[in-house]
Structure 1
């Protein structure tokens, strides 16, 4: 029996939904320590990239590369950290973390470095508006 896609409860708890691309939901980690975004392919029971079919893998790569390039430009990143780890959240998801040489964890990975510092509601809306303005001008455009 086929299962339907459902976002993992930990991602629901820790993230803010921004919108979606053709394959993936776009989330923002609720942590103002770093501009941190997550792509989640809307495919049920997928834990690893190799479990996607060939067309889905290509689309995931396109969406990820596009998002990374846009984030690097929007946030003037020194470096983009992109990773699919999944040790705590087994559902396939790809982290896109904007890094600066001046950020809290540099040059170490961000995981476990500092407790999350949640955004204030007005900060959330500012990020959402900025992203949607930038990302709606492409084939991966996000709905309002």
Structure 2
């Protein structure tokens, strides 16, 4: 049974689910920073997924990155899996702008997280509702 790592639960807000991945929003309003987590048990590396799941992960990652680039006017999309702190396989998909707080450096550890206000979360969800496909299920209770 799939269980989300407790650190991801603590640091992120649940947005919903693609066919394979749970979509999270990092609770840091400094950047539109999303995380995709394949809903598979005990997977820490992409190569541990079967071929169909690997293709689905890249499809969902590409769809999300393209959607976010257009929706949030990104100058660059950062897409990465690290797993040095959270070993559960998860894909960071981060909107970067030349005027963001960390540009051009990585966003990790640059400054303390600035949690979203409720209105900001609603605004992001409303933007995503306009562009995500019918294959995406938003989490219950989202505005």
Matched, 1:24 2:18: no
The answer to whether the 8 A contact 2:15-2:138 is kept is no
CA distance in 2, matches of 1:131, 1:51: 30
Matched, 1:124 2:124: no
Matched, 1:87 2:61: no
CA distance in 1, matches of 2:28, 2:43: 26
The answer to whether the 8 A contact 1:40-1:92 is kept is yes
* The one of 3, 7, 11 aligned to 1:10: 7
1:141 to partner: Cα distance? 2.6
Taking the TM superposition and a 5 Å limit, the aligned residue runs for 1:1-144 are: 4-135=1-132, 138=133, 140-143=135-138
If the length of structure 1 is used for normalisation, what is the TM-score?
0.93
CA distance in 2, matches of 1:6, 1:65: 24
Q: Deviations over 1:32-54 (max 9, x none)?
A: 00000000000010000000000
1:125 to partner: Cα distance? 1.4
If the length of structure 2 is used for normalisation, what is the TM-score?
0.94
Q: Deviations over 1:67-102 (max 9, x none)?
A: 000000000100000000011110000000000011
Aligned length: 139
CA RMSD of aligned residues (A): 1.0
User: Mind listing any 5+ residue stretches in structure 1 that lack a counterpart?
Assistant: none
Corresponding residue SS for 1:69: helix
Corresponding residue SS for 1:97: strand
In the TM superposition, structure 1's runs of 4+ consecutive aligned residues that sit over 2 Å from their partners are 138-144
